[in-house]
Structure 1
Amino acid sequence: MAQRVVVTGMGVVTSLGSDIRTFWNNLLAGKSGVSRIEAFDTSDYTTKIAAEIKNWDPEAYGLDKKNARKMDRFVQFAAAASLMALKDSGLEIGSNAESDRVGVSVGSGIGGLGTWEEQHSLLLERGPRRVSPFFIPMMIANMASGQISMITGAKGPNTTTVTACATGTHSIGDSFRMIQRGDADAMICGGAEATVRPMAMAGFCSMRAMSTRNDEPEKASRPFDVDRDGFVMGEGSGVLILESLEHALGRGAHIYAEVIGYGMSGDAYDMVEPDPDGAARCMARAIKDAGIAPEEIGYINAHGTSTPVGDKSETTAIKTTFGDHAYKLAVSSTKSMTGHLLGAAGGIEAVILALTLQNGVIAPTINLDRQDPELDLDYVPNAPRKADIRTALSNSFGFGGHNATVIMRKYEA
């Protein structure tokens, strides 16, 4: 019989706050984390805004100064969020949890882009001998999971998923599976990203994928609004501690929510354009995996990136999956406040899902001033909503047609 899996700890690094209470309060207040980019000169960029983390200091989050220098920014974010999540959970590796029964799966959609840029500049300006010997181990996407295991002593399953913007949700879902089948008692899982960088911003600008509402940064991310003009880049990390219910109860852990379903699918359609059929299959598989009826879902934290094509595709997929029940669901996109954290989005949004179930409040979709008439669901516009949600779903969809869905419900003994 498969193990039941619960959420016992969470950690976040975001532009809305890098602790759970501040982050949640800012979400419910409808605060935007988007502002003008300060990390580099954006004069020649069509998009000059992002949900950027200002004044980042890894030492303030428990990271050793010397070791932090050997980490790309995305790894620092991941390690900081993981240490927060472990502290929140009360899980002590080597004390109340055996080290070889705790694993790590923290993915990244792009990895160490900042390190790549800096070392490439050194190569061009000063030659190959000046490239750092730490370049490769700092840059590769699996180093978040690797460093987390070294810092925490977690010796169980250690893996990294790279599925673009579906990465965080795949990492959580795969960790759910590992615990279900008995490969681990607990998993440190989620996503991290640090792509508010010249190359990433230039690439997405060239695609015309991002909002150019530079004069009103806080209003730029506006999912489902008729005036949406693209997504807003975000950065940070969201990490959860998943445990088998038996292990969590055995140490008297606080339980935020229970993970009950996971689905994934491929569009087999286009490099960047989503196919609503793929998203619908993904949600349907997660619902089947959870062993519930579609009508039991009360809330969806949407992928909802604020792109004209993406929001329409997801809305179509929700209608396909839920039929008439789609109009009874609450659907919100918290990317309207956090920006789009790419590979970290699923981690952040899984944290939000658990907090929604625990607190009975749905975070809103802000900047939804004029709902697109083609998008006719209940997107919880502009203000939080009290609701006794029992079961909720989170979607993540990535370039390449990668789709991932996780379902959580309120914990009941």
Structure 2
Amino acid sequence: MTNPEPDPTPGAARTAREPIAIVGIAGLYPGARGADGYWGLLRETRARALSPGACALADLEVDVARFGIPPAQRRSMTRMQVLMLEAARQCLTDAGYAGRPLATDRTDVIVGTCFGLDRQYANALRVEGARYARELGRAMAGDPGGHVRPHARRAARDLRARLVKRLGAAPHDRVGEMASTIPARIAGAFRLRGRTMAVESADATSFVALEHAVNALRGHVCDAVLVLAGQRRESPLLADALAAKGLGMVPGGPSGGPCDALGEAGFVLGEGVGALLLKRRSSAVRDGDRVYASIRESRLAHDARPGVLRYSTSAEERHRVALACHEAGGVAPGSVQYVEFSGGGVAAVAEAAVGGLGRLFGDVPRGSVVLGCAGDRLGNTFANAGLASVSKAALALYHRGLPPHRPGPDLSEAGLVGTAFRFARSAERWAAGPGDAPRRVAVSGASLAGTLCHLILEEHDSRRPAALGAQAPAQDGTAQDGIEQDGTAQVVSRPEAIAVVGFGGRFAGCADADAFWRTVRSGEDRIGPLPGSVLDRELYFAPDGISLTHTYTELGAPVRVPDGPPAGLPITPRRYAAMDAAQRVVLAVAQETLGRHGRRHSLAGRPGLVAIGSNLSLGTDRRLDAGRSAAELEAAAAELDVLADLPGPDRARILDEARRGYGARAGPLSPADLDGALAGGVAALVANEYRLAAVPVAVEAACASSLAALDAAIGALRSGGADYAIAGGVELACNPRDMVLCSALGLLSRTRITPFDEAADGFSPGDGCALFLLKRLSDARADGDPVFGLLRGAGGSNDARSLIAPDVDGQVRAMQQAFGQVEFDPAAVDYLEAHGTGTRVGDQVETTATAQVYAKPGRHRPLMIGTAKSQFGHTFAAAGGAGLLRALLSIRARTFPPNANLGTPGPELALDDIPARLPTEPVPWPAVPGRPRRAGVSSFGTGGINYHVLLEEHPAEERQDGAR
């Protein structure tokens, strides 16, 4: 399959914000399959009553073999992964790309999910079940009757084996359970080699994914984006956690509507998976795509309020974000004939939306704007809610029809009296606007984290001059004299540099970035035997062989989690205790990052982004589920012959004692428990506690999550959607669950990680967090900020081949994409902070890819190569952050950092081809006349995910005081 040439001037910013075309739609919802099925469901006048059962997605048989998935990996797949593969297939087919080429090298895949996935919960319960098995053995050993004492040890062992069989276990479980494996699977199945990532921002997840896609398309870093979002009720924990916030899954009743998803008693949580294929409208017209509708503009805003996560009920904030969206898109509110509310379920939120948007439409006739909500058919599909609403709006525009809406108690017809809004009681033909103006829809949403969302869609009519106009079909070619061949004005200068105006870090043995640099410079590592509080050796350590239930290594690099919140934050001890450990670490590092910047007041009220790379299923999420799943463990225990033969009272007594020892938690949760379980809650915590009007999002791209989060931040800054961003990553990988699952695949080193060494045999897990405060360089200068370094380019790709084996071509594409954004070539880069996976194959692939890009005739001295993993282990989602922090501090200290534990470099490494050197002690970094010091930072993840960032020294004469 050949790829069309990429659109001209990648990375250039248009003087006008081009509309983004929706060219493919897919949906898997209760009672609906595909775009046509979904539209049919929406047009039904007599919608079914909402209830948890009615809003559940029926099991769908999908032949995963058609997607090229090896049989050995199928048992490790999440159900969401299967559903999204099918939705992606339907979407690409709907867009007409089942039999014609798509620009595969420049097609990104972004997936949104929220809460844990089924395999994540099963794997965690299997590992936690070892503790229950031990408690069962202890209860049997202490049985006063003495009947089962001799069988206690064997029963505990047999129960662990039974849990493996009951819950499932396979070597690929660690890779298969990850949210970021979903877009990677899709990329591999359809040979899409652009960037891949998974995101989560509570019920703003879809909107955040769409915003990132729009930024990427308008920034010309890709030519198409496949966006998917899905929600399933994978665990009873979800219902309990929502109920603790007054948002439990409550049946809607015969008059309940979507916006019944906003009743004071709670909402009906729906299930569903949706997909959209997006392209720039000029590209879609050029390529002959069917265009359902175009996104004219989108805006996200955050109403920051300290305390537990809760919806914004401010009509003023709702009005402000909507007005900003219309002004940015040049769309008069009076030209919008239909408003679609996303999600639904809380009366106060619905009232704020009607009040805020009522001000926006204050000059239009009463009852002239139709109001709808996809939740009247689906319930609140949470992570999927925004995509369900945008899909509904696009279908309404395409079919020129207004679907009927069933009012609910949160949003009734009585509440619309005297406003511009009305409900369509039956399907209506959508008449054209005044003067044959295009039909338009506004989609409005709100998030539990405090985020507010507004999008404007308009119909596409190829007969209408405005449909082409300034966005006429682009022709393949090169822009000249600032004008594309399609006639659209272009700014052909390179994208603006992004300034690092603050940073912080916390890693093993290092409470802050200064301590981190001292350790880096020392050349020592922080890897050693894990304390018993981290790794229970009796339960999980077995040094001989590989198993599905134990780790064969006891080494790691754990971080100290702060005992309390940073000074000045009004966080109660009870709420702090409910936080995930990753949240506690991030709070401390955010304090350091903002403190180093020293000008937090300058951020007040300005739009921003907090993008944190992390696993989308936090440890607290898994532990809460495992703690509430004692019934599953007891069911397995009851199958043991020795217990089955006991009298009922004796068996109940033993099981009750085992339950107490295990720590099963069946009581009510607190409102803060959901916050500690949400991955997006990490970023939301930073935004809310520091009162930043910054949209929070968790980003997962496997081990490249930190750089993927930075890439998202750079896109938001360059698009103008944010004036600043806090970006980086966090993960606490030193835990039994991750170590057991990684050992099952043989990923861990038995001694310690030794990247690029001939004895390299895997990695050692490490904990860590690194954050960076970013601004556009022009803004940093205008604000008088300290500038610690410059991010010049960021590139990403997917191998679209193996989930585990690294690929030279994929890594090369990521590097080339980064260099496509700058004016210098690889020979002008002095240092590479490598991914350094610590395996012979991985290290060879990385150096080979590096040689293909960095081996240039203009290189006059060796490229110095190092990796943070040699000192702090593999910190998973935080790995790219550790690498960027190490490179940044190396530039500032004008010192090439040493590699720890490097004996003899592997003979297969392509070092001489570059040429390159692996320093084992600090080496002075001399200046090169006429240019600043520069470094590249690589981060690669399972699933074939690759990211590369280019970092540059800030000229000394421009540094502000205190920038050290």
Q: TM-score, normalised by structure 2?
A: 0.41
Match runs of 1:3-402 below 5 Å = 3-38=496-531, 39-42=534-537, 43-44=541-542, 45-54=551-560, 56-59=562-565, 64=571, 65-92=573-600, 95-117=601-623, 119-124=625-630, 125=659, 129-130=666-667, 132-133=669-670, 134-213=672-751, 220-324=752-856, 328-377=862-911, 378-388=916-926, 390-402=933-945
Deviates more, 1:40-49 or 1:21-30: 40-49
Distance change in 2, residues 1:40/1:61 (3 Å):
farther
Q: Give 3-state SS (helix, strand or coil) of 2:526's partner.
A: coil
Q: Deviations over 1:291-312 (max 9, x none)?
A: 3212111111000021222111
- The Cα shift of 1:247 comes to 2.5
Q: Give 3-state SS (helix, strand or coil) of 2:755's partner.
A: coil
Distance change in 2, residues 1:62/1:225 (3 Å):
farther
Percent pairwise identity: 25
- The Cα shift of 1:90 comes to 1.2
Name the counterpart of 2:426: none
Q: Give 3-state SS (helix, strand or coil) of 1:17's partner.
A: coil
For residues 120 and 62 of structure 1, what CA distance do their matches in structure 2 show? 34
Q: Give 3-state SS (helix, strand or coil) of 1:225's partner.
A: coil
Q: Give 3-state SS (helix, strand or coil) of 2:943's partner.
A: coil
Q: Deviations over 1:341-395 (max 9, x none)?
A: 1101111211112112211111111111111111142343321111136111100
Deviates more, 1:29-38 or 1:384-393: 384-393
Distance change in 2, residues 1:347/1:55 (3 Å):
closer
Counterpart amino acid of residue 666 in structure 2: R
- The Cα shift of 1:244 comes to 1.7
For residues 131 and 3 of structure 1, what CA distance do their matches in structure 2 show? 51
Distance change in 2, residues 1:308/1:193 (3 Å):
same
Counterpart amino acid of residue 360 in structure 1: R
Name the counterpart of 2:344: none
Q: Is the contact between residue 701 and residue 877 of structure 2 (CA under 8 Å) also seen in structure 1?
A: yes
Q: Is the contact between residue 179 and residue 244 of structure 1 (CA under 8 Å) also seen in structure 2?
A: yes
For residues 211 and 114 of structure 1, what CA distance do their matches in structure 2 show? 27
For residues 339 and 272 of structure 1, what CA distance do their matches in structure 2 show? 19
Counterpart amino acid of residue 718 in structure 2: Q
Q: Is the contact between residue 556 and residue 766 of structure 2 (CA under 8 Å) also seen in structure 1?
A: yes
Q: Is the contact between residue 99 and residue 156 of structure 1 (CA under 8 Å) also seen in structure 2?
A: no
Q: Is the contact between residue 103 and residue 157 of structure 1 (CA under 8 Å) also seen in structure 2?
A: yes
- The Cα shift of 1:324 comes to 4.5
Deviates more, 1:317-326 or 1:164-173: 317-326
- The Cα shift of 1:50 comes to 0.6
Counterpart amino acid of residue 103 in structure 1: L
- The Cα shift of 1:115 comes to 4.4
Counterpart amino acid of residue 614 in structure 2: S
Distance change in 2, residues 1:392/1:247 (3 Å):
same
For residues 530 and 786 of structure 2, what CA distance do their matches in structure 1 show? 38
- The Cα shift of 1:317 comes to 0.7
For residues 673 and 603 of structure 2, what CA distance do their matches in structure 1 show? 34
- The Cα shift of 1:173 comes to 1.9
* Pair 1:411-2:957 in alignment: no
Counterpart amino acid of residue 96 in structure 1: S
Counterpart amino acid of residue 901 in structure 2: N
Count how many residue pairs are aligned between Structure 1 and Structure 2: 405
Distance change in 2, residues 1:62/1:106 (3 Å):
farther
* Structure with the greater alpha carbon radius of gyration: 2
Distance change in 2, residues 1:158/1:223 (3 Å):
same
Q: Is the contact between residue 867 and residue 883 of structure 2 (CA under 8 Å) also seen in structure 1?
A: no
For residues 248 and 90 of structure 1, what CA distance do their matches in structure 2 show? 13
Deviates more, 1:36-45 or 1:134-143: 134-143
Q: Is the contact between residue 3 and residue 179 of structure 1 (CA under 8 Å) also seen in structure 2?
A: no
For residues 106 and 141 of structure 1, what CA distance do their matches in structure 2 show? 9
Counterpart amino acid of residue 844 in structure 2: K
Q: Give 3-state SS (helix, strand or coil) of 2:939's partner.
A: strand
Deviates more, 1:367-376 or 1:124-133: 124-133
Q: Highest relative contact order (Cα 8 Å, sep 6+), 1 or 2?
A: 1
Distance change in 2, residues 1:136/1:195 (3 Å):
farther
- The Cα shift of 1:131 comes to 6.9
For residues 879 and 951 of structure 2, what CA distance do their matches in structure 1 show? 17
Q: Name the Cα RMSD after superposition.
A: 2.1
For residues 388 and 58 of structure 1, what CA distance do their matches in structure 2 show? 43
For residues 341 and 294 of structure 1, what CA distance do their matches in structure 2 show? 27
- The Cα shift of 1:55 comes to 6.2
Distance change in 2, residues 1:3/1:70 (3 Å):
farther
Deviates more, 1:17-26 or 1:130-139: 130-139
